[in-house]
Amino acid sequence: MRVDVDRYRDRAAPVDLSGIDFDAFRDRPLPAAAIRCLRYMHDIEHHTVCYLRDLLVTPAHRDPDITTFLTVWSYEEMWHGQAIGRVLAAHGEPNGAGRISELRRRLGVRDRLSPMVHALGSTLAGDTFPAVHMTWGAVNEWTTQAGYARLIDRARHPVLTDLLSRIMRQEGRHIAFYAAEAERRLAGSRRAQRLCRAACVGCGDPWAPA
């Protein structure tokens, strides 16, 4: 099944924050463990654009459906990071451009080499690379969704629950695209299945902040 990427594009928007009372976190702050998780989530959401940079030097950039999706995906993920940043700000935590610029500075050589590594690896994979990329994206989005659900369960804060539930609804649309494209592309290629298995089994997220 193919996702209607034009419909997906037309629904793109920043996560709806209407009615979210961020000041409530000052009266009822989150525990330290929840803040630690939110720092990581904030950084990952803001790092999406760097992942997009790496993907655009691969064969993925030749597929207009994929590039339309990736444009919208990166846009919505940035707003997720901004929303989580407001929760951090309510706790007096660094967030936004100040935190992200320092994070990117510390990535160092690994980050500078990442586009070249992706370009080389995708050249070896050839036309099967989009299948691997879509599968990897689906796995990452599923784990992100599970992480948000787990944080809701552990924190049990009504305002955080509302905010993360709204983010999760948008993440659900990201999952739908990745999973549908992965299934369609893997079904037609034994080589893509083998490469995907080799790329995904036992691997962590190479774009996660250290």
The C-alpha atoms of residue 131 and residue 196 are separated, in whole angstroms, by 7
pLDDT in tens, 21-56: 999 999 999 999 999 999 999 999 999 998 888 888
Q: Which residue ranges form the domains of the chain, and what is each CATH number?
A: 31-200 (1.20.1260)
SS3 helix, strand, coil % of the chain, rounded to 5? Answer: 80, 0, 20
pLDDT score at 206 = 40
Report residues of the chain scoring pLDDT below 70: 1, 124, 200-210
Q: What is the DSSP letter of 127?
A: G
Residue 166's contacts (CB-CB under 8 Å, 6 or more residues apart) are: 15, 16, 17
pLDDT score at 203 = 52
pLDDT in tens, 60-76: 888 899 999 999 999 99
The C-alpha atoms of residue 80 and residue 202 are separated, in whole angstroms, by 28
pLDDT score at 1 = 64
